[in-house]
Amino acid sequence: MPERKIARVAVSGVTYWVDRPFDYLVPPELVDRAAPGVRVFVPFGRGNRRTEGLILAVQAESSRTELKAVLDVLDEEPIVSEAQIRLLIWLRERCFCTIYDGLKAMLPTGLWFDSKGACRVGDKTVRLVSLAIPAEEAILISAQKRRSAPVQSNLLRILCETGRVSVPELCAFSGAKTQSVNALEKAGLVKTEEITVFRRPSYREREATPLPELNAEQQNAYDGLREKLESGKPEAALLFGVTGSGKTAVYVHLISHALSMGKTAIMLVPEIALTPQMLETFSGYFGDKTAVLHSSLSVGERRDEWMRIKCGEARVVIGTRSAVFAPVENLGILIMDEEQEDSYRSENNPRFHTRNVAKYLCAHNNALMLLGSATPDISSMYAAQEGRYSFYRLDKRYNQMQLPSVKFVDMKRELRAGNGTSLSGELLDALRQRIESGEQSILFLNRRGTNKLINCGECGYVYECPRCSVSLTWHSANRRLICHYCGYSQKISEDICPDCGGKLNYIGTGTQKVEEELRELLPGVEILRMDADSVGAAGSHEAILSRFREEKIPILLGTQMVAKGLDFENVTLVGVISADQSLYSGDFRAAERTFSLLTQVIGRSGRGEKPGEAIIQTYTPENRVIRLAAEQDYEGFYSAELEVRRMQSAPPFCSLYRFTASGMDEAQVLRCCTEIRQQLREVLRDREDVQILGPAPLPVLRVNNRYRYSVTLACKDDRYIRGWVAQTVIQSNTNRAFRGVSVYADCEI
């Protein structure tokens, strides 16, 4: 009798408190295909619902005597490796999510199956055609067919010159139709075959380029980092360099060295808008070894890029947050550019920070984790100062040019002078000067739409979202009021108050409003706008940036998409429309976020041979954070902000675990948070390092008719705390007194 084979399966569609490996018997006919890392269909629950699962391990014994059997094996070979399975288990422990939540983050959509077991996106095939007879014979037949069948004659002549070619390319080049190719195949003159090809995202290809030369500062940083790369141990380093100092050149040399060692590399960027520029740069150095992963790729492109990485065809991965899960083998270096950005933090399950996943990957692959930024995260700089990270710095721009000069414009004075627009006279004059001299400008405003809200000046009525506790944003392009949280929209046809008939006021400014003002003030000047409304289609961000670069469009206006990473030599002016906007969000990171955004966007100016200038419009020109950002004084900001964090007991001096409860009944949500607070106080009463804050409403209390409150636990991070956080999440979600309330936890270290 053959030995039993038991599969330990993580099942999809279960909640966090139910999630665990379930034992299933593997039928004899599936034994050869059932292995760790393959997906299966299994019967689950009392109704034996046909459910997808992932085999985590295979063993000979089970603690249960009666086992259900695996119904079918979906993958021909493991879709995730055993190392990735361990990463999924780590994500479950650290991010309080299910195994399948982690798997969904790890695998591209195109690799998932439907309910019948069919893959949602199949392989792309191309039909190739070639001669089935010697070329000499084909030339003779071509000459014979010149009058009776001129199209077939032409096809044979082309195939004699080209050899094997795809049918679509052959038809496009010759003007023939597929029927002519089929006729030649039927006559035995040509043969065709189907081959599988990878779908590749389109980008501006560069010719093979030698590695960039390094200046003395860059060489010193590279030499130190190369030693870390070669150490054969897990290493972490921070590369601190002013904007335009040439951090990318150091990255390129390190990746090249990792490849020469037989290792692979992952390069992460915070914004999708940066991937075309980075891909173009890296493909010039590493050619087809480069792959790109981000959410704006088509489903087929993302699937095939992932498969290229998995099969080893691509050894350099460039992408946004999700690219940290790329299936690379033998990882040598993982780079996070602009590592301080919030976009590296996931707001959906699994709620992970990319930096923490990168630490795990580098620790388990004996790889180098390199964090790069002109404005490092306070916690990262603190780790470098404490000696936990190696520290390297680049203090000068690579071309020895000075940092941009910065001017402040007090918008209160502009208002008193009668200027009610979003653009100061000084900024307009500077824009006109750049237009006349053929130079380009970038304008930054971190709010899309036209106006933040519309209200009545007589009765105070405000258009609000019926599902969220926010005002609706006016978008003049489609004349609709839109909620940026739930997507609700409505049209208004008249400029009168629906309550009292009074005149409506349009308050606040977004990118659409600034674009309208620019077109009125600078008639005939071409303007590009880059925000979430203008880059909705796949690849449209790349098209906008390409036009700005190649057509020398005078003005690029945008949100934080234009604030970092972009490198345009002809940009000599940067204008910040509203520098105060992000300072008062109520988040303990508000000052850091504002400093980083301003420093980064100022650094887009003067990156070529021409000197740069930045104009900052603000209602509080004396603000310390704005002043330090204008001076590019990171050390001054870091010292002051670190003391504030120390007094707040905020990271890096402790970890923050945040429990968020949401539900339709506000009172019930509040009672649930109160219960969480009481449980934590009882369990952790002997811990002196613990602070419990809340319940407190989130900045936007109601989203999509669900009220949201949070309880924050500030303490030192350890396994004991994580265990109690997980237990609290489970108890809160299974407590019948709080039915209808969802509770999740995330951690900020």
The 3-state DSSP class for residue 442 equals strand
Calculate the alpha carbon distances from 497 to 460, 503, 506, 509 in Å: 9, 6, 12, 20
For residues 352 and 729, what is the distance between their CA atoms, to the nearest angstrom?
16
**Tens of pLDDT along 616-629?**
999 988 899 999 98
Q: Are the C-beta atoms of residues 448 and 577 closer than 8 Å to each other?
A: no
Instruction: Read off the pLDDT of each residue in 284-301 and give the average, rounded to a whole number.
Output: 87
Q: Are the C-beta atoms of residues 279 and 318 closer than 8 Å to each other?
A: yes
For residues 54 and 73, what is the distance between their CA atoms, to the nearest angstrom?
10
For residues 166 and 366, what is the distance between their CA atoms, to the nearest angstrom?
44
For residues 189 and 181, what is the distance between their CA atoms, to the nearest angstrom?
10
- The amino acid at 328: V
**Tens of pLDDT along 474-508?**
887 778 889 989 989 988 877 788 888 888 888 87
List helix spans (H) across 315-456.
354-365, 378-385, 411-416, 425-436
Domain boundaries, the chain: 6-106, 124-197, 216-394, 405-450+510-644, 452-508, 655-748
* Residue 595: burial class (beta carbons within 10 Å; 0-12, 13-18, 19+): buried
Calculate the alpha carbon distances from 273 to 277, 493, 541, 577, 614 in Å: 8, 35, 6, 21, 22
Is the pLDDT at 145 greater than 90, yes or no? Answer: no
Q: Are the C-beta atoms of residues 353 and 656 closer than 8 Å to each other?
A: no
Is the pLDDT at 403 greater than 80, yes or no? Answer: yes
- Residues with Cβ within 8 Å of 286's Cβ and at least 6 positions away in sequence, in order, are 255, 256, 259, 315, 316
Kindly state the tokens that stand for 267. Answer: 């390069």
Counting every residue written for the chain, the total comes to 749
Which secondary-structure segment (H or E) carries 281? helix 275-286
For residues 542 and 540, what is the distance between their CA atoms, to the nearest angstrom?
5
**Tens of pLDDT along 32-82?**
999 999 999 999 988 999 999 999 999 988 888 889 999 999 998 999 999
CATH class name, domain 6-106:
alpha beta
Is the pLDDT at 539 greater than 60, yes or no? Answer: no
CATH class name, domain 655-748:
alpha beta
**Tens of pLDDT along 470-481?**
998 888 777 888
For residues 681 and 194, what is the distance between their CA atoms, to the nearest angstrom?
66
Please indicate whether the domains covering 216-394 and 405-450+510-644 agree at the CATH topology level: yes
Domain 405-450+510-644 sits in which CATH superfamily? P-loop containing nucleotide triphosphate hydrolases (3.40.50.300)
Q: What pLDDT score was predicted for residue 322? A: 92
Q: What pLDDT score was predicted for residue 305? A: 92
List helix spans (H) across 4-114.
82-95, 99-106
Would you identify the CATH topology of the domain 216-394?
Answer: Rossmann fold (3.40.50)
Count CB neighbours of 680 within 10 A. 23
Q: Using pLDDT thresholds of 50, 70 and 90, give the confidence band for residue 725.
A: very high
- The values of phi and psi at residue 703, to 5°, are -130, 125
Q: What pLDDT score was predicted for residue 1? A: 42
For residues 173 and 167, what is the distance between their CA atoms, to the nearest angstrom?
10
Q: Are the C-beta atoms of residues 345 and 354 closer than 8 Å to each other?
A: yes
User: Beta strand 655-663 with 742-748: parallel, antiparallel or unpaired?
Assistant: antiparallel
- The amino acid at 401: M
Kindly state the tokens that stand for 542. Answer: 């790349």
* Beta sheet of 613-618, edge-to-edge order: 405-410, 613-618, 571-576, 440-444, 555-558, 527-530
Instruction: Specify which of 132-146, 349-363, 615-629 reaches the highest per-range mean pLDDT.
Output: 349-363
Q: Which residue's structure tokens are 């995260």?
A: 377
Q: What pLDDT score was predicted for residue 294? A: 87
Q: Are the C-beta atoms of residues 557 and 447 closer than 8 Å to each other?
A: no
**Tens of pLDDT along 312-355?**
999 999 999 999 999 999 999 999 999 999 999 998 889 999 99
Q: Which regions of 649-690 does DSSP assign to beta strands (E)?
A: 655-663
Q: What pLDDT score was predicted for residue 227? A: 96
The 3-state DSSP class for residue 624 equals helix
* Beta-bridge partner residues of 455: 462, 505
The 3-state DSSP class for residue 25 equals strand
Q: Are the C-beta atoms of residues 7 and 16 closer than 8 Å to each other?
A: no
Q: What is the C-alpha end-to-end distance of the chain, expressed in Å?
A: 53
Instruction: Specify which of 139-148, 164-173, 188-197, 260-269 reaches the highest per-range mean pLDDT.
Output: 260-269
For residues 324 and 30, what is the distance between their CA atoms, to the nearest angstrom?
33
Return mean pLDDT, the chain. Answer: 89
Q: What pLDDT score was predicted for residue 272? A: 81
Angle ∠(385,389,393) on CA atoms, nearest 5: 70
Is the pLDDT at 601 greater than 80, yes or no? Answer: yes
Q: What is the DSSP letter of 2?
A: P
| Torsion sign over Cα 440, 442, 448, 451 | negative
Q: Spell out the SS3 assignment of 542-584.
A: HHHHHHHHHCCCCEEEECHHHCCCCCCCCEEEEEECCCCCCCC
User: Beta strand 390-394 with 527-530: parallel, antiparallel or unpaired?
Assistant: unpaired
Q: Are the C-beta atoms of residues 275 and 85 closer than 8 Å to each other?
A: no
- The values of phi and psi at residue 164, to 5°, are -95, 135
User: Beta strand 555-558 with 571-576: parallel, antiparallel or unpaired?
Assistant: unpaired
Q: Are the C-beta atoms of residues 113 and 122 closer than 8 Å to each other?
A: no
- Residues with Cβ within 8 Å of 13's Cβ and at least 6 positions away in sequence, in order, are 51, 52, 100
- The values of phi and psi at residue 353, to 5°, are -105, 130
Please choose, from the candidates 122, 105, 124, 100, the residue with its C-alpha nearest in 3D space to the C-alpha of residue 113: 122
For residues 556 and 541, what is the distance between their CA atoms, to the nearest angstrom?
12
Q: Using pLDDT thresholds of 50, 70 and 90, give the confidence band for residue 563.
A: confident
Q: Are the C-beta atoms of residues 556 and 566 closer than 8 Å to each other?
A: no
Q: Using pLDDT thresholds of 50, 70 and 90, give the confidence band for residue 204.
A: low
For residues 289 and 282, what is the distance between their CA atoms, to the nearest angstrom?
9
Count CB neighbours of 420 within 10 A. 7
Kindly compute the dihedral angle of the four CA atoms of residues 405, 411, 415, 417, in this order, to the nearest 10 degrees.
-30
Q: Lowest mean pLDDT: which of 1-5, 163-167, 264-268, 305-309?
A: 1-5
Please choose, from the candidates 14, 112, 115, the residue with its C-alpha nearest in 3D space to the C-alpha of residue 71: 115
Between 162 and 664, where is the model more confident?
Answer: 664
- The values of phi and psi at residue 641, to 5°, are -70, -35
Q: Are the C-beta atoms of residues 502 and 456 closer than 8 Å to each other?
A: yes
Q: Are the C-beta atoms of residues 44 and 133 closer than 8 Å to each other?
A: no
Q: What pLDDT score was predicted for residue 280? A: 81
For residues 652 and 589, what is the distance between their CA atoms, to the nearest angstrom?
12
Is the pLDDT at 537 greater than 60, yes or no? Answer: no
Q: Which residue's structure tokens are 């971190």?
A: 446
**Tens of pLDDT along 657-684?**
999 999 999 999 999 999 999 999 999 9
Q: Lowest mean pLDDT: which of 9-18, 116-125, 581-590, 686-695?
A: 116-125
Q: What pLDDT score was predicted for residue 426? A: 93
* Beta-bridge partner residues of 575: 443, 615
